[in-house]
Amino acid sequence: MKQNIAHIALVVNDYDEAIQFYTEKLDFILIEDTYQPEQDKRWVVIAPPNSTGKTVLLAKASKPVQENFVGNQAGGRVFLFLATDDFERDYNKLLAKGVTFVRDPKTADYGKVAVFKDLYGNLWDLIQYGENHIMQSRLP
């Protein structure tokens, strides 16, 4: 049996503002934006450029209880990890585009990492894994 995680759902306030942030600030690609009339919602999928990994499904909060989790899906912990093959390039590009970093870059045994927040406050690692780290071999 072979299974994979296909999408990670990220609860957002608004589809269009989320698409704008992720495509303009993080240079993600809009893979799909399809209206689903039977549920009166959109199926919005994004991914980093040239990614062969999993995608992010932008899921608009549709109930008050869901709205409480926008920007806090992991209780203030880093929630998503954006792996890169060139930390300095991407770190400087994100800074230039106004992305807010809440933890400065550091080098650890697993690689180089800094923490930034998205438009809702979710925390992300920007990470370049070290050459001996298992995840390094999984980058495209």
Q: Cβ contacts of residue 125 below 8 Å, gap of 6+?
A: 78, 80, 81, 82, 113, 114, 115
Q: In whole angstroms, what is the distance from residue 76 CA to residue 73 CA?
A: 8
Please give the angle made by the CA atoms of 135, 46 and 128, to the nearest 5 degrees. 25
Report d(CA 12, CA 83) in Å as an integer.
22
Kind of pairing between the strands at 55-60 and 100-108: unpaired
Tell me how many degrees the CA angle 30-14-70 measures, rounded to the nearest 5.
105
**Residues, the chain:** 140
3 state SS of 50? coil
pLDDT band of residue 128 (cuts 50, 70, 90) is: very high
Structural domains of the chain, ranges and CATH numbers in brackets: 7-138 (3.10.180.10)
pLDDT of residue 50: 92
pLDDT digits (tens, 9 = 90+) for 20-48: 999 999 999 999 999 999 999 999 999 99
**pLDDT number for residue 135:** 58
The burial class, CB within 10 Å (0-12 / 13-18 / 19+), for 137 is exposed
pLDDT per position as a tens digit, 41-100: 999 999 999 998 899 999 999 999 999 999 999 999 999 999 999 999 999 999 999 999
Which pTM does this prediction carry? 0.90
* Secondary structure letter of residue 101 according to DSSP: E
Q: What share of the chain is helix, strand, coil (3-state, %, to 5)?
A: 20, 40, 40
